Structure formats: C-alpha cells, structure tokens
C-alpha cells in the first residue's frame, strides 16, 4: 500500500559512528515520521540517503500493516464475542435422539423425553415458560440482594 507524502515528515541527519570523513559531512541518515499515528523510523545502515530512505519507508509500512492487522483482529473478536467450546453442556439446550430421546435446557434444567414433539414445536411453549419463570426468579433474587 502507498502512504501519501502529506502524511510523512522526512528529516535527514549525519549518521555518526565509524565510517571516516564521509560520516561527518554527509547527511545520509533518514528519519521518517508518520504524522497521523506518530510512528517514527530511523535508518542509518547504508551510506546513501536514497537507500536509507527506501529502507525506512519499508519499515514504516511494515509497522503500519501490523497495526492495521491487529485492529482488524480486534474488530473480528468484538463481532464474534467470546468463543465457547462446543462440548456437552456448553450449549443452552441439548438434544439427545439416540439411544434414548431427551431435550434438556441447561439454563432452567427443564427437560422432556418427548424430543420429537419438541422438535415439531409442540413443547416449545413449555420450554419458554420454564425460561420465563427462571428469569423472574433470578430477578427477584437480584432485587432482594440489592435491598
């Protein structure tokens, strides 16, 4: 991807260190600052300014890509929510159709041995009623604890 020049602040300086007279009189080191994020990259490894600028720009792009990927992963995690392992008892409701038949709601402990009637929608009202009673009971307990 390309970074607009208007978002970059490029400064040059002398490299310093070993390297003879060239190091002391030529501005070959490059510092690039990405203004919107405040990220800075400095490169002094090459003797020529254009090479150092290219290296610094590649490093800055790599850092910006890493930040963008982290943000994308966070957004996906926020959308997905907590990952729950799909194991027995981790679901809201369990359906057993073989070797015996049973439907059990884990939140309310409501269960029925007539799984086919539940799947056909005939026992759905019983399950919903158990959930509503359970919710009302929890709300009462919560109100009693607060007062």
pLDDT in tens, 6-65: 999 999 988 776 666 666 677 888 999 999 999 999 998 888 889 999 999 999 999 999
Give the separation between CA 6 and CA 1, rounded to whole angstroms: 15
Q: What is the mean pLDDT of residues 63-81?
A: 89
pTM of this prediction? 0.53
| 3-class secondary structure, 52 | helix
């Amino acid at each position: 991807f390309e970074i607009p020049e208007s978002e970059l602040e490029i400064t040059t300086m002398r490299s310093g260190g070993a390297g003879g007279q060239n190091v002391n009189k030529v501005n070959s080191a490059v510092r690039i600052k990405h203004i919107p994020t405040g990220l800075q990259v400095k490169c002094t490894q090459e003797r020529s300014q254009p090479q150092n600028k290219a290296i610094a720009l590649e490093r800055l792009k790599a850092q910006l890509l890493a930040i963008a990927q982290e943000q994308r992963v966070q957004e996906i995690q926020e959308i997905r929510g907590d990952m729950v392992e799909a194991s027995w008892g981790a679901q809201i409701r369990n359906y057993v159709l073989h070797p015996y038949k049973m439907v059990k709601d884990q939140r309310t402990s409501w269960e029925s041995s007539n799984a086919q009637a539940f799947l056909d929608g005939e026992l759905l009202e019983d399950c919903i009623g158990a959930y509503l009673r359970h919710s009302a009971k929890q709300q009462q307990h919560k109100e009693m604890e607060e007062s």
